[in-house]
Amino acid sequence: MGAHSRPGGNSVGKKKKKDIAKRRAKSRHKTQKKRKLRLLTSSSNQQVQVSSRPGLPHLGAPEGFRSIGMAQAMMEYAKPLMGLVEGGEEDFEGATQAAMVLWNYALSVEEGHENRKIEKDIVKAIMACFGLDETSALALFAKMIERRSHLFPPDIQPKGSPFMFIRKEVRHIIRPFDYDTLSGLCDKSIPADDKDQALVERINELDHHDGYWGRSQHLNFGGKVGDAL
């Protein structure tokens, strides 16, 4: 008697093949994103420069700014990009590389060296890295280029130091109260329950004793009985 295949065996095998194909496609996509970012990074002659001279951590920053190290400056700059990734190690690495590419090109723009071809390549890399359409990628590109000069104005940066002056972000510790949340409240007064009534009686009793104590003190310090009563 010939061998018989188990019920559903073919469908299970097809499903496994599809899952394997999806994982391979996802892996190829991530590899392509990394390759594009590496090409952009290697094609640029600039790198994030860190001075070898000792820094001055006590160097006073201008009003409205604070002094931070180069690594922390890059982390602050990259925050909008980090908010777009899921949090995996590969996603974090891709966002970090994208931040370095954008940082370097923003520096070129500040020095007056713009390159439309490089801009197009960076936008394409942003689309592949973060899964954005062209309009969103262009908006993110413009935001990150402006962000560097906003956070780190070039004209105030200390010379020959690994420290940078970053603009302080203004945050509201106490959020404005939303009075619209009070629209559904009842305007009628809430009647006092037994506990509330007992508290009121206790307060009245204390007030009575305080009044008596005040009259006694007045008598002890030479007051007349008629004045106290």
CB atoms within 10 A of CB 148: 20
Two tokens, residue 33? 């994103």
Q: Could you tell me which residue, 194 or 87, shows the higher pLDDT?
A: 194
Same domain, 195 and 160: no
Answer yes or no: is 13 within a domain: no
CB atoms within 10 A of CB 82: 14
Kind and range of the H or E run holding 84: none
Q: Could you tell me which residue, 31 or 56, shows the higher pLDDT?
A: 31
Answer yes or no: is 211 within a domain: yes
Distance separating alpha carbons of residues 206 and 203, to the nearest angstrom:
5
Contact 164, 72 (CB under 8 A): no
In tens, the pLDDT along 105-144 reads 999 999 999 999 999 999 999 999 999 999 999 999 999 9
CB neighbour class for 63 (10 Å; exposed up to 12, middle 13-18, buried from 19): exposed
User: For the chain, how many structural domains are there in total?
Assistant: 2
Answer yes or no: is 122 within a domain: yes
Same domain, 141 and 56: yes
Two tokens, residue 3? 């061998």
Same domain, 144 and 34: yes
Report the predicted TM-score, pTM, of the whole model to 2 decimal places: 0.53
* DSSP bridge pairs for 167: 65
Please write down the HEC assignment for all residues of 27-70. Answer: HHHHHHHHHHHHHHHHHCCCCCCCCCCCCCCCCCCCCCEEEEEH
Same domain, 161 and 215: no
In this prediction, residue 116 carries a pLDDT of 94
Two tokens, residue 127? 């689309």
